[in-house]
C-alpha cells in the first residue's frame, strides 16, 4: 500500500529525513515512533502528497505520489499534526465542503457526510460551529474529514495528542474499528497505545529508520533495560556502590521515600539481579522493605534506540 524508497527531505540546508526506505502492506496498522524532531510529520506530509521531497520515490496503492498525485491522494485519508479546520463553519458544512473538494460525487456527499458523522460520534454536534467545539471534538472532525472520501489508507499524525484519557480511548476505539478494511500509519508518543493497536512499529530517529518490527520482536531481540526496584529503610552509605557493581546492572538512581530510600537499577534485558540483592541484604543485614522487578517495556526499547547520538 505504501512504498518508500530512499526518501530524503532537506529544508534550507537541514536534512530532516535521510534515505528512508520502508513498505506498509495492505491491512497493516503501523506505529510510526520517534522523539520530537525525528522526522515523523515531515515523512507523513510527504506520503500524503502535501509536501514535495528532495529525492527518492513514494508510491501509494501503486501510484507515484508526485507524478500521479490525484490518483494516489484518492486512496489517502490524512490527519495532519495540527488540523487546519475552518473555525467559523458548522461541522456538517465543513465536511460537505471537504467531501466536494476531494471529489466525492454530488449525490453521494450527503450519504458520506452522514456516515462519517456517525463513525466519529459527531451526530449531536453536526450543527455546531467548529470554533466552539472541545479539542477532542475538533480532533474527531479532523478524523471525519480524513475519512469522508472513504480512503483505504489512513495517515494519522498524533491523533490522540492533547486529548483527555476518555477521549483518547474513544479515538483509539474508533481507529481500531476503522482499521478493519483499511491500512493505517499512525504516529504517536503514547507507547502503550502502540502495543495495543499496531501490528508493527517503525522507529525513526534523526531522520533515519532505527527499527521496523512487531513490538513483540523488538522486546525480544533488543537488549532493552528492565528495572529492579530496591527499597531500604536505613541504607548504609555503601549501598549505591554495591548495587551499581552487580552483574547486569547498567545504572542506579536513588530516590528518598517516606520509609527510607528507593533504588532503581536499570538492567540488561536478560539480567535479574534480584537474587544477588537478596543475598547481600541477608549478609549485610540491610532492612529491605521492597524488592520488585519490571520487565523491559516498549518504552525501554524506544529509549535505547533513540537516546544520545
Of 52-91, binders to Mg ion (CB under 5 A) are 81
Contact criterion met (CB below 8 Å) for 128 and 91: yes
Interface with ligand ATP (CB under 6 A) = 11, 14, 16, 34, 36-42, 81
Which grid coordinates belong to 31? 506505529
Which partner from the list ligand ATP, Mg ion, none does 137 bind, CB cut-off 5 to 8 Å by kind? none
* Nearest approach, Cβ of residue 157 and Mg ion (Å): 6
Cβ neighbours for 135, distance < 8 A, ≥ 6 positions apart: 162, 163, 167
Which partner from the list ligand ATP, Mg ion, none does 226 bind, CB cut-off 5 to 8 Å by kind? none
Which partner from the list Mg ion, ligand ATP, none does 42 bind, CB cut-off 5 to 8 Å by kind? ligand ATP
Residues binding Mg ion: what is the number (CB under 5 A)? Answer: 3
Q: 48 vs 267, which CB is nearer to ligand ATP? A: 48
Cβ neighbours for 204, distance < 8 A, ≥ 6 positions apart: 17, 20, 32, 33, 34, 38, 39, 40, 43, 210
CA–CA gap between residue 284 and residue 200 (Å, rounded) = 47
Of 26-45, binders to Mg ion (CB under 5 A) are 40-41
Q: Where are the beta strands (DSSP E) in 144-189?
A: 153-157, 183-187
- Report which secondary-structure segment, H or E, holds 193: helix 191-197
Of 182-211, binders to Mg ion (CB under 5 A) are none
* Nearest approach, Cβ of residue 45 and ligand ATP (Å): 8
Distance of CA 307 to the CA centre of its chain: 17
- Torsions phi, psi for 111 (to 5 deg): -65, -50
Which partner from the list ligand ATP, Mg ion, none does 34 bind, CB cut-off 5 to 8 Å by kind? ligand ATP
Q: 83 vs 261, which CB is nearer to ligand ATP? A: 83
Q: 277 vs 298, which CB is nearer to ligand ATP? A: 298
* Nearest approach, Cβ of residue 104 and ligand ATP (Å): 29
Residues that bind Mg ion (CB under 5 A): 40-41, 81
Amino acid at each position: 500500500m505504501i512504498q518508500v524508497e530512499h526518501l530524503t527531505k532537506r529544508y534550507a540546508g537541514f536534512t530532516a529525513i535521510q534515505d528512508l526506505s520502508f513498505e506498509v502492506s495492505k491491512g497493516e496498522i503501523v506505529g510510526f515512533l520517534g522523539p520530537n524532531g525525528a522526522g515523523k510529520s515531515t515523512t507523513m506530509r510527504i506520503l500524503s502528497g502535501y509536501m514535495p521531497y528532495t529525492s527518492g520515490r513514494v508510491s501509494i496503492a501503486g501510484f507515484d505520489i508526485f507524478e500521479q498525485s490525484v490518483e494516489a491522494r484518492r486512496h489517502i485519508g490524512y490527519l495532519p499534526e495540527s488540523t487546519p479546520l475552518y473555525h467559523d463553519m458548522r461541522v456538517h458544512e465543513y465536511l460537505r465542503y471537504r467531501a466536494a473538494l476531494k471529489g466525492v460525487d454530488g449525490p453521494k456527499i450527503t450519504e458520506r457526510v452522514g456516515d462519517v458523522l456517525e463513525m466519529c460520534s459527531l451526530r449531536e454536534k453536526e450543527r455546531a460551529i467548529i470554533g466552539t467545539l472541545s479539542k477532542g471534538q475538533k480532533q474527531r472532525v479532523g478524523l471525519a474529514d480524513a475519512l469522508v472520501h472513504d480512503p483505504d489508507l489512513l495517515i494519522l499524525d498524533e491523533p490522540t495528542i492533547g486529548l483527555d484519557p476518555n477521549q483518547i480511548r474513544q479515538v483509539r476505539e474508533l481507529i481500531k474499528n476503522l482499521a478493519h478494511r483499511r491500512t493505517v500509519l499512525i504516529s504517536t508518543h503514547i507507547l502503550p497505545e502502540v502495543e495495543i493497536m499496531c501490528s508493527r512499529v517503525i522507529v525513526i530517529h534523526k531522520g533515519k529508520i532505527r527499527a521496523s518490527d512487531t513490538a513483540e520482536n523488538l522486546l525480544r531481540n533488543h537488549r532493552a533495560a528492565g528495572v529492579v526496584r530496591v527499597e531500604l529503610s536505613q541504607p548504609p552509605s555503601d549501598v549505591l556502590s554495591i548495587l551499581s557493581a552487580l552483574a547486569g546492572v547498567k545504572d542506579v538512581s536513588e530516590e528518598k521515600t517516606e520509609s527510607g530510600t528507593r533504588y532503581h537499577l536499570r538492567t540488561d534485558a536478560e539480567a535479574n539481579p534480584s537474587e544477588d540483592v537478596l543475598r547481600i541484604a541477608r549478609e549485610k543485614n540491610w532492612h529491605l522493605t521492597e524488592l520488585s522487578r519490571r520487565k523491559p517495556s516498549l518504552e525501554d526499547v524506544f529509549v535505547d534506540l533513540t537516546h544520545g547520538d
